[in-house]
A and B are shown apart, each in its own frame.
Chain A
Amino acid sequence: MPPKNYIPAKMVVYQPSAGVKKDFETLLERFTETGTVRYEKFAEIWRSMKMNLYCAGRQNDREVREFIEECFHIASQFWLPPSSFQVRAGALYLLYGLFNFQLCMPRVKIRVTHKMWSDVIEFQAQAREEQHYDLDFIFHKLRLQNAFYFVSEHRELYLATTNFHQTQDLLVPDNFRDETTILEEVFSQDFMEQLSAIHEQYYKMKVALAGPDATTPDRSLDVMENKLIDNITKTMNAFKERRQGRSSRKRKQTEGESSEEDQEDDSSDNDEDSDPTFTPGNIINTKRSTIKASAYTGLAKASRSRRHRQVVMEEDSSPSKMEKKREILKESDADELCQESVVVEYSPKKNAKGKPVSEEEEEVEKEKDHTFSLDMPCLTRDDNSIPGSSADKTSSKPLSKGKKSKRMTGKVLPKMLPNLEYKKKEKEKKRPGQKKRKA
C-alpha cells in the first residue's frame, strides 16, 4: 500500500501553479519589510519583480485562464485572516495587479465566497477607520470593475482526475522532494512509543505471573524477544544509514565521472550542492547520470550454456580512449577477439511492451533490486573502471568484416577491455606473424 500523499512522478504532468506561491510570498515578504501599507511601496516592489509579466510563456488562452484562476485562488488566501493587516493589504494590491494585468479576454474573475466576503468587508471597514484611503480606493475600484464572482465554494467542484488536495501539496515539484519510504511511515515515532508501552506492560504481566517476588518471568513464557524495540530501532537506523550511504556514494560516483569526462557537469554538481534553491536543469542532469551510473554498474551473469561469452563491463568510452582502441583493433586479430570476449552493448532498456523505459521506471527497477546494486563495486577514479555511456558503434566496424562476427546477433557487439588488450598484446608478442593478417 503506497503512503497517503504518494503520487507517482509520472502522474504529475503539468502544474500550472508551480512557483506562484513562492513568488507571492517573496513579494508580500518584501512588502511587509517596508512597514507601511502604502500603494507606492507596493508598486515599487511589483515593478522591481516585473510582476506585470506574470502570464509570460503560457501558450494559449486556455492555459492562461487556468493559470490565472490558480493565481487568484492562491492570492486570495493571503487576503483573509489569519494574515496580518499588512499582508492582507498587500494581497489586495496583488489581486488588483493580477486582475488588471491578466492577458485574457474576457477577464477571469476572483471567486469570493460568502464567508470570505464578510471577512473582507470587515477588513475594509478597518482600513477606512484607519484612513488608509488607497486601500479603500482600490477595493472600490475592483468592485466597480466587477472583478468578483460571488460563489458558494472556492473552486468549481467536479469529478477530480487528480485529487486537488494532493495537488495542493505538490506546489513544490517532485524533483525537489525528498524520497520517502513506507518503512519510515509505518515505524513512526508514535507507533514506536505505543509499541514500547505495550511491550513493557506485557513484560510486567509476565513477571507478575511468575510470582510476587520474581524479578524475571518464567522461562516457559519466552515467546517474544525481550529487546524487540531495540532491535527494531537498530534495524531502522541501519536502514537509514544504508540509504544515506547509498545516495552519498552515488553522488561521489557521479562527481568522479563528471570530473573526468565533463567539466561542465562537475560545475553543475557543485552548484547543486552549494545552491539547492533552483537549478532544474542541473538537477535533472545529475539525476540522470546517477541512474545511468547505477544501471551500468550491474552485469547479469551469463547462463551456463553461454559461459564462453561472459558479459564483461565495457571500459571508458571517451573519445580520446576510443581512438586508441580503434588503433589496437585494427592491429589485432578480430577472430581471436571474438572467441575471447563479448561485450553487450547497452541499448536503451526496454520493458515488456517494447517502449523505452522512462527514468522513473528505471529508478523503480533500481529500487527493487537495490541489494543487488549495493553489492556492486564502488567505483573510484583510480580504478579506471567508470561505466561508459552508450557504446561507440564505429569501433565495431572492422570486426564486422570478420568471419565469426557474422554469427552474432545485432545487439551483441564485441568490445575490448584494457586487461584483454593487455593479454592481446602479450599474445601478439608471442605470435608476431599474425599481426597484419587483417590489414
Chain B
Amino acid sequence: MEAGVLHQTVSDVISIREFLQSWDASVIHDSRREAKDSADIETFAELMELDKETVKELDQVCSLDHLKNTQEPVDRWRILGEIPEDLNLMCVRFQKREMEKRKDPAYNMIVQKKIRQKMSTRMNMPTLNQTRRKIPPQFQVTYPEVILTVHIHKPMLTMKDKRPTLTNEHSFLVLGHEKLTELRDYIRCTNDLAIPGDQSDFPDCVMHNYAKDIFKSGFFYIEGTFYNDTRESDCRDYSQNIIKWAKEKNLGQMESHLMEECTFLDLKIRLGQPYVYVHQGDCEHIIIFSDIRLLSSEDPQDTREYPFLTFRIRSRRNVCKVCMTRTAKWVVYDSEYAPENPCFFCDQCFRPLHYDINGIKKGEFKAYKYFDNQAIV
C-alpha cells in the first residue's frame, strides 16, 4: 500500500530481534567495552596469542607515527580552513575547486542547505558527560542492545492547493527493549496541547483541558500492522475502520496489535520506508526508521535518557502582530482590531485591545489559545 509513494531507497524487511541475534558474542563484547586509543601490551598479547616481546615490537612497527609526515601535531582548524600548497591529493584538489565555487554566495547557500539537510540528524551527539555519569543499576542499559534512529515528521499538510511537504521535526534514538508507547509519549506535537473551544468570553480562566487529555487514542502503522494505544479506558481503536475500508478496497491484509505490549525488538521494519503515526483523530505524522545498529559504549548508558533526541527542527516562532516581539499566545478570528484574519496576539497586547477596563469583551470575535511550536514544545 505504501510502497513507491516517494522516491527513495528502502531496505528489505528486517526483523530487529533477528538482527540482534545475528551478532556473535565477541562483537557484543566489543560494543560494550570502552574505547582505548593506546591499549596495553597485555591485552594485545592475550588477543593475538603471542608473547609480549613480539607484541611490543609490533606496536612500534605499526605505530601511527609512521603515517605522519612531520612530527608536529596537525592543527585541526588550520588544516580545515586552508589547504597546504604542496598537497596533491585528488579529493583535496576537488575540494579546492569547490571552495572557489563557493565564493559565489548563491551557490554557497545551496551547498550549505544541502549539508544541513543531510547532516543535521547526526549532529547532536551524546557527549562524554552523558555517557560517563554515574547511573543507578536499575537504569543501566543491558547488553546486547539495539539502537534505532527514528525521524518524526511534521503533520502532513493535505490542503487542496498545496503540495504536501515532508519536514523532519524530531529525530530520536530509541532502544530495542523500549516499548512503542515510550516513543509515543515523546513525540511532541502542538495539536496535543491545543485547548478546544472559543476562550474569548473568559480569557482569564482558561480551561486547562489539553486535547491530549481528552482524545487519548493514537496508533502507529508499521509494515501492515496497526499498533493501537489502549492504555486508557476511553481510548478508541482507530484501526478498525481503516481495516474495514482496506478490506473493501482489496488493499491487503492488515493486523492490529496493542502498542503498550510491543517493544521495538518485536517489530519487523524496512529502513527508509515511511510509516505513519496518527493521533488526535487525523493528525498524521510520517515516521521513518533510518538506521539500526548495536548499542556502543559511546552512546548514553542511562535508559532514562531514551528516546534520545538527536535533532530538532529550528523554525521561526509566530510573533504577536502588535508588538512583533513576544511570542503569540492567542489566535483571534473575526476581530475588527486585527490587521489580518486570523491574527496572532501575545497576552499583553491581546487584553487591552479586545477588552475594556472592566474586562468586558469588545465586539464579536473568537479567540483560541495558541501554542507556538518553537516556544513550547
Which residue of chain A has the shortest Cβ distance to B111 in the bound complex? A14
Q: Decide if A8 is an interface residue (CB 8 Å cutoff).
A: no
A64-B80, A145-B35, A150-B293 given as contacts; is B9 within 8 A of A164 (CB)?
yes
Q: Which of B14, B36, B99, B111 contacts A144 (CB 8 A)?
A: B36
Question: In this assembly, does A153 line the interface, its C-beta being within 8 Å of a C-beta of chain B?
Answer: yes
A63 to B149, CA, bound (A): 21
Q: Is the Cβ of A133 less than 8 Å from the Cβ of B31?
A: no
Bound-state CA distance A97–B88 (Å) is: 18
Q: Which of B19-27, B205-213, B365-373 lines the interface with chain A?
A: B19-27
Q: Does B118 contact A (CB under 8 A)?
A: yes
Contact A157 B11 (CB under 8 A): yes
A13-B110 Cα distance, complex, nearest whole Å: 8
A137 near B: Cβ within 8 Å?
yes
Contact A103 B291 (CB under 8 A): no
The smallest C-beta distance from A160 to any residue of chain B, in angstroms, reads: 5
Q: Given the complex of chains A and B, what is the CA–CA distance between A70 and B151 in angstroms?
A: 22
In the bound complex, do residue A158 and residue B294 qualify as a contact, i.e. CB atoms below 8 Å apart?
no
Contact A133 to B50, CB < 8 A, known contacts A19-B90, A55-B80, A151-B291: yes
Whole-angstrom distance from the CB of A51 to the nearest CB of chain B?
A: 7
Residues of B within 8 A of A51 (CB): 67, 89
A143 touches B30 (CB 8 A): yes
| Chain A residues, Cβ within 8 Å of B36 | 144-145
Interface stretch of the complex, out of B53-61, B135-143, B330-338, B345-353: B53-61
- Tell me which of B39-47, B177-185, B355-363 binds A: B39-47
Could you say which residues of chain B place their CB within 8 Å of the CB of A49? 88-89
Which of A17, A20, A153 is the one whose CB lies under 8 Å from B291? A153
A50-B88, A157-B11, A157-B272 given as contacts; is B119 within 8 A of A100 (CB)?
no
A133 and B44 CA atoms in complex are apart in Å by: 11
CB-CB < 8 A to A210: which residues of B? none
Whether A157 and B9, one on each chain, are in contact in the complex, defined by CB atoms closer than 8 angstroms, is yes
Say whether B79 faces chain A, with CB atoms less than 8 Å apart. yes
Q: Check if A141 is an interface residue, CB within 8 A of chain B.
A: yes
Q: Which one, B68-76, B231-239, B247-255, is touching chain A?
A: B68-76
Q: Who on chain B is nearest to A71 by CB?
A: B91
Contact string against A for B residues 100-143, beta-carbon threshold 8 Å, 1 for contact and 0 otherwise: 00000001001100111111011101000000000000000000
Q: Which of B55, B68, B96, B151 contacts A57 (CB 8 A)?
A: B96
Smallest beta-carbon distance B126→chain A, Å: 9
- The reply to whether B44 and A117 contact each other, CB–CB distance below 8 Å, is no
Nearest Cβ in chain A — how far from B34, in angstroms? 8
* Residue of B with least CB distance to A48: B69
A196 to chain B, nearest CB (A): 37
- The contact string, 1 if C-beta is below 8 Å from chain B, for chain A 55-98, is 11111101111100000000000000000000000000000010
Q: Cβ of A156: which chain B residues have Cβ within 8 Å of it?
A: 121, 149, 271, 290-291
- Asked if B115 and A14 make an inter-chain contact with CB atoms under 8 angstroms apart, the answer reads yes
Query: Is A215 positioned at the interface, with any CB of B under 8 Å from its CB?
Result: no
Contact A150 B23, beta carbon cutoff 8 Å: yes
Q: How many residues on A have C-beta within 8 angstroms of the other chain's C-beta atoms?
A: 72
Could you say which of A140, A160, A161 contacts B44, with CB atoms under 8 Å apart?
A140
Q: Mark B242-273, 1 if CB is under 8 A from A, else 0.
A: 00000000000000000000000000000110
Distance of A413 Cα from B7 Cα, bound (Å) = 51
**Beta-carbon contact of B94 and A62 below 8 Å:** no
Q: Does A149 count as interface, using CB distance less than 8 angstroms?
A: yes
- Determine the chain A residues whose CB is within 8 A of the CB of B66 once the complex forms: 39-40, 43, 47
Contact A146 B33 (CB under 8 A): yes
User: By the criterion CB–CB under 8 Å, are A133 and B96 in contact?
Assistant: no
Find B94's partner among A19, A26, A40, A165 (CB 8 Å cutoff). A19
Residues on A with C-beta less than 8 A from B23 are 114, 117, 150
Cβ-closest chain B residue relative to A145: B35
Known interface pairs A101-B67, A144-B39, A146-B33; A153-B11 also in contact (CB < 8 Å) = yes
Cβ contact within 8 Å between A137 and B88: no
- Cβ contact within 8 Å between A57 and B22: no
Q: Within 8 Å of chain A (Cβ to Cβ): is B6?
A: yes
CB of B376 within 8 A of chain A?
no
CB <8 Å contact, B87 and A53? yes
Q: Pick the residue among B9, B67, B116, B122 that contacts A43 (CB under 8 A).
A: B67
Residues of the A chain whose Cβ atoms lie less than 8 Å from the Cβ of B291: 151-153, 156-157
Task: Check B80 against A65 for contact (C-beta < 8 Å).
Answer: no
Q: Give the distance in Å from the alpha carbon of A97 to the alpha carbon of B62 in the complex.
A: 11
CA–CA, A103 to B22, complex, Å?
A: 33
User: Is B83's beta carbon under 8 Å from chain A?
Assistant: yes
Residue of A nearest to B16 (CB): A152
Q: Would you call A157 and B290 a contact (CB within 8 A)?
A: yes
CA distance A51 to B74 in the complex (A): 13
Of B97, B99, B272, which contacts A158 at CB under 8 A? B272
Asked if B204 is at the interface of the complex by the 8 Å CB criterion, the answer is: no
A–B Cβ pairs within 8 angstroms, 25 of them: A49-B88, A51-B67, A52-B67, A53-B89, A56-B79, A56-B83, A57-B95, A58-B95, A97-B64, A100-B67, A106-B125, A140-B47, A146-B30, A146-B33, A146-B34, A146-B296, A150-B23, A152-B14, A152-B293, A159-B288, A161-B114, A163-B7, A163-B9, A278-B90, A278-B93
Q: What is A's interface to B at a CB cutoff of 8 Å?
A: 13-15, 17-20, 22-23, 26, 39-40, 43, 46-47, 49-60, 62-66, 97, 100-101, 103, 106, 109, 111, 114, 117, 128, 133-134, 136-138, 140-141, 143-146, 148-153, 156-161, 163-165, 173, 278, 280-281
Which positions in B face A, CB cutoff 8 Å? Answer: 6-11, 14, 19, 22-23, 27, 30-31, 33-37, 39, 43-44, 47-48, 50, 54-55, 58-59, 61-62, 64, 66-69, 74, 76, 79-84, 86-99, 107, 110-111, 114-119, 121-123, 125, 149, 151, 166, 271-272, 274, 288, 290-294, 296-298
Given contacts A56-B84, A58-B80, A66-B118, could you give 8 more A-B pairs where the C-beta distance is less than 8 Å? A52-B68, A52-B74, A59-B99, A62-B116, A137-B48, A152-B14, A156-B121, A157-B272
The 9 A-B pairs with the shortest beta carbon distances in the complex, nearest first, are: A157-B272, A19-B90, A146-B35, A43-B66, A19-B91, A18-B94, A157-B271, A57-B95, A19-B94
